[in-house]
Amino acid sequence: DVCVLGSFMKDLVASAERRPLPGETLHGTGFAEFLGGKGVNQAIAAARMGARTAIVGTIGEDRYGEEFLELLKTDGVDTDWVVRHPELGTGVGLPLVLPDGSNSIIIVSRANSAITATDVEDAAEVLTSSAVLSVQLELPVEASRAALRLASAAGVTTILTPAPVGPVDPSLGAYVDILVPNEVEAAALTGLDCDDESQLPKIARKLADEWDLRGCVITLGGRGVFVLDRSGTSNSNGGEEIRIPGHTVATVDTVGAGDAFCGSLAASLASGAALADAVRLANAAGALSTTVNGAAASAPDRAAAQALLDA
Ligand code: ADP
């Protein structure tokens, strides 16, 4: 089973020809709503990969919260551990998209920011009985730490996506087995450049040493993935380096690729796959997610990911 601790974000997307000036009211050219947040996206991706999946997080007692519960239930995600905050509403994101595809985003975390270590401890049963726990950095760090600590002590494999990019609390390191940064996050954490292929082993080793990791998985967008797998070796030296190229697909929207990748990785590891094999399936799932618009809605099912791998 997979457990995801993470955020719920309702995105209300406006399109416009340009950004409004201070004090200006500007007519937009389009509007769309999406249900997302890294936690939700990863949980749905894991469930579609065939894992029994539960999500832990906080939403409001509002309409957006209801929408999330419905969406998650449609994909078979266990929502029994979701806490509904009595005052704060469900988290929202307000992106403004310009004609060239660039965007400016306001995020209001609302209920997401209210989750406490105690809320997480109340979900100890599901956190400690899963095979894999996946955590990102959109929630207060005390909550993330509490979940990783509980799971790690119970022998659950823990995955951390260090996103959104920013400083990471070093106290999380002791409880993480597998770190999954993208290029930007890996560069921010090490000060080294992921564009330079020859640096990738060094970057992964640096992170693996600092975090005492079992595995470091650096996602490289369309270029695929670099993996340092230290399971089966002593964590001081060695480990297997695996470079997996990206799949060539008809990409239309890369938003949420990392979440589709991580959710699939968690599901595959939970089913007992070795890290390299789990990453291969996740690499296919991440690629397929870019062929569909949206984030949560774009994760593929296991059969589609397997078919791309076998093609
Ligand atoms: P994030 O979405 O966090 O920035 P990446 O862009 O690295 O993460 O994407 C995560 C994974 O999704 C990649 O490692 C790859 O497997 C897949 N992926 C992303 N973009 C593409 C693409 N354009 N073509 C093929 N696969 C992609």
**92 domain-assigned:** yes
**24 domain-assigned:** no
- CATH code (residue 257): 3.40.1190.20
Domain extent, residue 177, equals 2-18+29-310
pLDDT attached to residue 236: 56
pLDDT attached to residue 17: 97
Candidate from 261, 262, 265 with most ligand 1 atoms within 8 A of CB, to mutate: 261
**57 domain-assigned:** yes
**261 domain-assigned:** yes
pLDDT attached to residue 159: 98
Residues with a catalytic annotation lie at 259
Nearest in space to 154 (alpha carbons), one of 125, 197, 113, 184: 125
Threshold 0.90, pTM exceeds: yes
pLDDT attached to residue 234: 58
Task: Report the nearest-CA residue for atom 5 of ligand 1.
Answer: 221
- Dist. CA 305 → ligand 1 center (Å): 14
Per-residue pLDDT of the chain (311 residues; tens, 9 = 90+): 999 999 999 999 999 999 999 999 999 999 999 999 999 999 999 999 999 999 999 999 999 999 999 999 999 999 999 999 999 999 999 999 999 988 898 999 999 999 999 999 999 999 999 999 999 999 999 999 999 999 999 999 999 999 999 989 989 999 999 999 999 999 999 999 999 999 999 999 999 999 999 999 999 999 999 999 998 765 556 799 999 999 999 999 888 899 999 999 999 999 999 999 999 999 999 999 999 987 777 899 999 999 999 99
Task: Report the nearest-CA residue for atom 10 of ligand 1.
Answer: 258
The atom number, within ligand 1, closest to the CA of 161 reads 3
Candidate from 203, 217, 219, 255 with most ligand 1 atoms within 8 A of CB, to mutate: 219
- Dist. CA 258 → ligand 1 center (Å): 6
Task: Report the nearest-CA residue for atom 6 of ligand 1.
Answer: 221
**246 domain-assigned:** yes
Q: How many domains does the chain have?
A: 1
**289 domain-assigned:** yes
90 lines ligand 1 (CB under 6 A): no
The atom number, within ligand 1, closest to the CA of 225 reads 14
182 lines ligand 1 (CB under 6 A): yes
**23 domain-assigned:** no
Task: Report the nearest-CA residue for atom 12 of ligand 1.
Answer: 286
pLDDT attached to residue 296: 75
